[in-house]
Chains A and B, each alone.
Chain A
Amino acid sequence: MSRHPAPEELLLDYAAGALSDGPALALAVHVALDPASRRTVDQLYAVGGALIEGEPEALLDDAAFEQAFARVGKAMVEPRAAAASGHPGFGWAPPPLACHLRPDSNWRRILGKFEEIRLDVPGDAHRVSLLRLEPGRGLPEHKHTGYEYTVCLQGGYTDETGSYSVGDFAVGLGSERHEPIADPGEPCIALVVAEKPIVLTGPWGRWLNPLVSRGII
C-alpha cells in the first residue's frame, strides 16, 4: 500500500468516468500500481451497479428487446489482449501508460536540469509528461496556477509535502511553491498531468515563464 494514495473523491471521479483523458490516465496508472486504490475503484464500480438497479426501469418494446438479444448473441468473445509488453527502456511503464509510448519516444533535456517525454493525449488540454530526474537533482522551484497530478513510477522524490515512491499519487494545487528533489538510488521517473502551465519562482523565472506558458519549454 502506498503512503500517498489518490484522494477518494478523485477515485470516484475516475470510477464514474467523469475525468478528462489526461487526469484519467494519471488515475489509471496509480490504480495499476496501488492495490488499495484498485480495491476502492472496484467498490465504486459496485456502487455504480447498485445505483443502476435503483433507477426506474426503462421499457423496451418486444422488437427492440429481440433485436438487442440477437446482437448480444452474435457478439464475439475474444481472449483478452496480452498486456502491452513495454518497449525496451520503458520497463517501468505500467500497461495503461505503455500504450502511450512509442519506440521513438525520446527523453528531451530541459533547462539542463531534467528530462521530459511529452505524451500526446488527443482531445485533452492538459500537459501530460513523463519527467526523469537524476538522484539528488531537483526540478526548478515552481508553483501551480491550476491543479497538477503526479504519479511516481521509478525511484522516489521528496518535496515540502513529503516523500513519494513508486505508485504514490500527489495533488499539487494553488500557489504553494514546491521544489521536488529525486531521492538517492535509481533516477526518479514520474508521470505529471498539469491543468495549466507551471510558474517558475526561481531567479530565472521572469525570463523563462513566457516560454513555459507558450509550451516552448
Chain B
Amino acid sequence: MEKGRQFDRSRASAAPWIYTIGSNKRIDLLRRTARPIDPKDWLVIHGPEEEDAYKSVLAGQTYICVRELFKGLPNNQLVVIRKAFFENKTHTVISDKMKLPLGIVKSRIRLALRRLRQALEKVET
C-alpha cells in the first residue's frame, strides 16, 4: 500500500477516539458543575486495554466509511446529525427548533444510519 494511504489509516482512528474522550469529559464536567474542577483530574488519561486495540481498528474502519459516506449524504440528513453533535440538541428539540414534524427528524436519522450500515457491511464482506 502506498505511504499516503497508510498514513491516513493510522490517523483515522484518532478522531472518533478524541471525540469519545471529549464527549465523556464534557459529560463528567456537566455532572460536576456544582463542584470546582481540578485541571489535573481533567487531564487523566486511562491506559489502553487489550479490547481497545480491536475497538480502535473497528473505529478506524468505521471512520473511513463514515467520511466517505458524508460526501453522498443528503444535506437534510446531515443537518440533523450535525445539530445533535455540535449543538447538543436531542432529536425532540431539533424537531421543535427546525419546525419539522418529529417523525421526519426520526426518519432522517434512521435513513442516515441505514446508509452508514450498508456502507460498513460492504467493507466487512
Contact = CB atoms under 8 A, between A and B. Distances in A.
Nearest to A55: B86
A17 B63 contact: no
Interface residues of B, number: 47
Interface in B42-97: 43-47, 49, 55, 58-59, 62-63, 65-67, 70, 81-82, 84-86, 88-91, 93
Interface string A135-147: 0000000000000
A76 B82 contact: no
A8 interface: yes
A44 B79 CA distance: 15
B33 interface: yes
Nearest to B26: A17
Contacts of B85: 16, 47-48, 51
A123 B17 contact: no
A52 B45 contact: no
Interface string A44-61: 011111111110000000
B46 A46 contact: no
Given A42-B55, A77-B47, A123-B33, A47 B66 contact: yes
A10 B120 CA distance: 21
A75 B19 contact: no
Given A45-B20, A49-B16, A79 B81 contact: no
Prevailing SS type, chain A contact patch: helix
A195 B22 CA distance: 27
A7 B113 CA distance: 12
B62 A18 contact: no
A51 B109 contact: no
A46 B63 contact: yes
B113 A49 contact: no
A214 interface: no
Prevailing SS type, chain B contact patch: helix
Nearest to B60: A46
Contact of B15 (A10, A12, A49): A49
Contact of A9 (B82, B88, B110): B110
A46 to B, nearest CB: 4
A40 B113 contact: yes
Contacts of B117: 43
B98 interface: no
Interface in A20-59: 21, 24, 40, 42-43, 45-54
A78 interface: yes
Nearest to B68: A50
24 contacts: A7-B106, A8-B109, A8-B113, A9-B109, A12-B113, A16-B85, A40-B113, A42-B55, A42-B59, A43-B62, A45-B16, A45-B19, A45-B20, A46-B62, A46-B66, A48-B23, A49-B63, A49-B66, A52-B15, A52-B18, A76-B43, A76-B45, A123-B31, A123-B33
Closest 9 CB pairs between A and B? A49-B15, A49-B16, A46-B62, A48-B19, A16-B84, A75-B43, A9-B91, A49-B19, A46-B16
Interface of A: 7-10, 12-13, 15-19, 21, 24, 40, 42-43, 45-54, 71-72, 74-80, 122-123
